């Protein structure tokens, strides 16, 4: 609706008539008291519901152009490289509704950029036991003995990964905090994303909400999913926070500022 409004509203050259009017204009018989009470409870929500105003507390988290600029085309997965420290984040699932996802990333010592190496997604229905076993094998293939994830389902992720000699650590950050830390990295092109359509779609469809008091939350739209985006964001933020101990990795530089540019990556 917002895209249509920007394209057509008030433009004589448009072939589309975009009508925008408050509720009382559309329906003069509406009880004014109902509207006044709604504005008293939540002015932002009431302006959207009755005032024909687009919400300022709910907006797109990141623009498609920003995500696209961080994507390295035709890079779908990166193999393990010696002397590189890798970081992993998992988004667990019980196997009936949501996907269970895993992402691995590392940080370049040369530029400080966080590079996404791998994305794994298992769609429901599935056996959580089998997925944990497979994920553990993938982690070990990158020399990883510890994975971070959310607090989903209490102790079962910790117990199941421990069976396969992988330490599962609940994230100290909430999902929203992880996304908010990822945003400046995306905007400054200090991340290298894999060419994964679902990752791109989930990132650009995240919504940013501002509640009373200024508290921000980032989440998918109702009915949507962010399983892949959550795991990728978690791995990238982990990699960015911790200095890489090796001197090898994926290098993508361009321009005088050394920013990431799609298609300019070299395996070192």
Tens of pLDDT, residues 81-131: 999 999 999 999 887 778 999 999 999 988 999 999 999 999 999 999 999
Q: Do 13 and 140 reside in the same domain of the chain?
A: no
Q: Do 103 and 218 reside in the same domain of the chain?
A: yes
Which residue range is the domain that position 10 belongs to?
A: 2-56
For residues 111, 114, 117, 122, the Cα torsion angle rounded to the nearest 10 degrees is: -170
Q: What is the pLDDT of residues 159-194, one digit of tens each?
A: 999 999 999 999 999 999 999 999 999 999 999 999
Q: Do 174 and 263 reside in the same domain of the chain?
A: yes
Q: Do 138 and 214 reside in the same domain of the chain?
A: yes
Is residue 168 within 8 Å of 39, Cβ to Cβ? Answer: no
Query: Which stretches within the chain are classed as H helix?
Result: 2-8, 23-26, 32-41, 43-49, 64-70, 128-141, 156-163, 175-187, 197-204, 227-241
Residue 119, pLDDT score:
98
Q: What is the pLDDT of residues 191-226, one digit of tens each?
A: 999 999 999 999 999 988 877 666 788 888 888 889
Q: Do 150 and 191 reside in the same domain of the chain?
A: yes
Split into its structural domains, the chain has a count of 2
Q: What is the pLDDT of residues 87-98, one digit of tens each?
A: 999 999 887 778
Q: What does pTM read for this prediction?
A: 0.72
Q: Do 13 and 130 reside in the same domain of the chain?
A: no
d(CA 9, CA 54): 13
Q: Do 171 and 88 reside in the same domain of the chain?
A: yes
How, if at all, do strands 146-149 and 206-210 pair? unpaired
How, if at all, do strands 146-149 and 86-91 pair? parallel
Q: Do 248 and 178 reside in the same domain of the chain?
A: yes
Q: Do 72 and 155 reside in the same domain of the chain?
A: yes
């Amino acid at each position: 609706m917002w895209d249509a409004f920007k394209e057509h509203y008030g433009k004589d050259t448009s072939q589309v008539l975009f009508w925008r009017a408050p509720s009382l204009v559309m329906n003069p018989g509406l009880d004014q008291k109902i509207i006044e009470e709604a504005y008293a409870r939540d002015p932002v929500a009431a302006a959207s519901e009755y005032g024909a105003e687009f919400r300022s507390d709910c907006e797109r988290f990141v623009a498609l152009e920003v995500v696209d600029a961080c994507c390295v085309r035709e890079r779908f997965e990166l193999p393990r490289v010696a002397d590189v420290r890798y970081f992993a984040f998992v988004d667990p699932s019980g196997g009936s509704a949501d996907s269970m996802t895993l992402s691995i990333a590392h940080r370049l010592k040369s530029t400080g950029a966080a590079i996404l190496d791998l994305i794994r997604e298992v769609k429901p229905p599935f056996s959580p036991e089998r997925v944990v076993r497979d994920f553990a094998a993938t982690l070990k293939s990158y020399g990883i003995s510890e994975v971070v994830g959310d607090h989903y389902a209490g102790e079962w992720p910790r117990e199941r990964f421990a069976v396969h000699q992988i330490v599962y650590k609940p994230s100290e950050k909430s999902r929203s905090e992880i996304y908010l830390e990822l945003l400046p990295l995306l905007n400054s092109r200090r991340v290298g994303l894999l060419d994964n359509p679902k990752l791109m779609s989930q990132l650009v469809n995240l919504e940013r909400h501002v509640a009373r008091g200024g508290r921000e939350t980032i989440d998918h739209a109702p009915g949507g999913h962010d399983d892949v985006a959550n795991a990728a964001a978690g791995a990238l933020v982990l990699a960015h926070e911790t200095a890489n101990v090796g001197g090898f990795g994926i290098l993508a530089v361009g321009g005088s500022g050394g920013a990431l540019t799609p298609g300019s990556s070299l395996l070192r």
